[in-house]
Amino acid sequence: MSGGLEGIVAGRTALCTVGKEGCGLTYRGYSIEDLAEHATFEETAWLLLRGELPTAEQLSGYRQRLRGLRSLPAALKSVLEQLPATSHPMDVLRTGCSALGCMETETASQGEFDIADRLLAVFPSMLMYWHWFHKNGTRIETETDADSIAGQILCLLHGRAAAASHQRVMDSSLILYAEHEFNASTFTARIVASTLSDFHSAITAAIGTLRGPLHGGANEAAFELIDQFTTPEEAETGVMELLRKKVKIMGFGHRVYRTSDPRSDVIQKYAAELAAEVKDTRLYPVSERIEAVMRREKKLFPNLDFYSASAYHFLGIPTLFFTPLFVFSRISGWAAHVIEQRGDNRLIRPAADYVGPEPRAFVPLASRK
């Protein structure tokens, strides 16, 4: 049996190919390179959820619809206010999603697409409301003029409309993070959906799964690594030392990709542009050196999380918000998978190789030593 289910085909999907020969990374047949260059995140979310790219009319209606779904129920604001200021933002989203499931509980008559759209629109509001309330006591208005989710995230975080170029980086990053086949959090969401549980439970479980540093938490962990070093030389010595101690370097390697992560080139280009814009002379050169050391020593390549870390930092995003950004995006893929699983459901329940004791006689309490 393969540890970690490596190489096991665990189901069927029409959503995405990851590193498939002749296809690479595609969402519903469209290459990630084309989507990142020519589409917007809203188009991508529509494509993932509904199967086809939207027409211009559908897209403009969709943007407007998502804009109308940004507000937070009063009861949710109250929950967010009661969470500790020291909570990890991923815990805030996990709790917020679960709480919303109590307030806007899925019903038989409610469309699944409605819940998916609501979560797409409301997650940034949830996090930023909690953030500002605990940072300076402000109860922010989450309905802004931003006409995209990327613009909304940056506007709520910085309190003003972001430059178009920054919105574009954020938008592309949301496209890159949107979907990735049977990764751990998506598979979790599908397992929950396969029990015929509700939508919010599936997404709440997926958020908890994404949080770990071997999965979504790698972007935060990668930044902590990069930020330790002041020069490329220091980074070289430091990474060599970590490798000697057999410590995993976050933001490198992948379960499926063997030679490169196609998403990394796109985000690296943006990280380089932003580094030049903010006149960075430390983080980007340090990142490049870590990449060179990892290629030389381990033949490992950066995954999406590695250069996302510096790109997000240059956009002024707090490190603890890096993985939540992944949630703001991946909700599109998770929701599409939940809908797909429900469309052709069978309970997901694998078997295990038993490695425990042989059958033995029960020992009464009085005779145990």
Looking only at residues 198 through 227 of this chain, which bind ligand COA when binding is defined by CB under 6 A? 214, 218
Which of these, 193, 200, 153, lies nearest to 177 by C-alpha position?
Answer: 153
Q: What radius of gyration do the chain's Cα atoms show?
A: 22
When asked if residue 238 is in the footprint of ligand COA (CB under 6 A), the reply is no
Residue with tokens 């010595």: 237
In the shown chain, the binding pattern of residues 302 to 321 toward ligand COA, with x for contact by CB under 6 A and - for none, equals -x-x----------------
Residue 131: which residues within 8 A CB-CB, separation 6 or more?
89, 157, 321
Taking the complex as a whole, the smallest distance from the CB of residue 253 to ligand COA amounts, in Å, to 2
- Which residue's CB atom is positioned nearest to ligand COA? 253
Enter the tokens of residue 175.
């496209």
Instruction: Report the greatest alpha carbon distance in the chain.
Output: 77
Looking only at residues 145 through 164 of this chain, which bind ligand COA when binding is defined by CB under 6 A? none
Candidate list 180, 305, 313, 337, residue with the active-site label? 305
134 is catalytic: no
Cα dihedral 325/327/329/331 (nearest 10): -160
Which of these, 217, 213, 183, 189, lies nearest to 201 by C-alpha position?
Answer: 189
Enter the tokens of residue 65.
């619809």
Enter the tokens of residue 296.
């030389």
Candidate list 254, 261, 280, 313, residue with the active-site label? 254
Candidate list 114, 134, 147, 215, residue with the active-site label? 215
For ligand COA, give the closer residue by CB, 42 or 181.
181
Residue 175 CA, distance from chain mean position: 11
200 is catalytic: no
When asked if residue 287 is in the footprint of ligand COA (CB under 6 A), the reply is no
Taking the complex as a whole, the smallest distance from the CB of residue 72 to ligand COA amounts, in Å, to 31
Q: Of 65, 67, 134, 248, which lies in the binding site for ligand COA, with binding defined by CB under 6 A?
A: 248
When asked if residue 255 is in the footprint of ligand COA (CB under 6 A), the reply is yes
Q: Of 131, 211, 254, 337, which lies in the binding site for ligand COA, with binding defined by CB under 6 A?
A: 254
Residue 214: which residues within 8 A CB-CB, separation 6 or more?
184
Question: What whole-number distance in Å separates Cα of residue 109 and Cα of residue 107?
Answer: 5
34 is catalytic: no
For ligand COA, give the closer residue by CB, 102 or 240.
240
Which of these, 279, 305, 275, 301, lies nearest to 290 by C-alpha position?
Answer: 301
> Segment contacting ligand COA (CB under 6 A): 30-38, 158-166, 270-278, 299-307?
299-307
Q: How would you classify the pairing of strands 24-27 and 16-20? A: antiparallel
For ligand COA, give the closer residue by CB, 7 or 359.
7
Active-site residues: which are they? Answer: 215, 254, 305
Binding residues for ligand COA, rule: CB under 6 A, are 4, 214, 218, 248-255, 298, 300, 303, 305
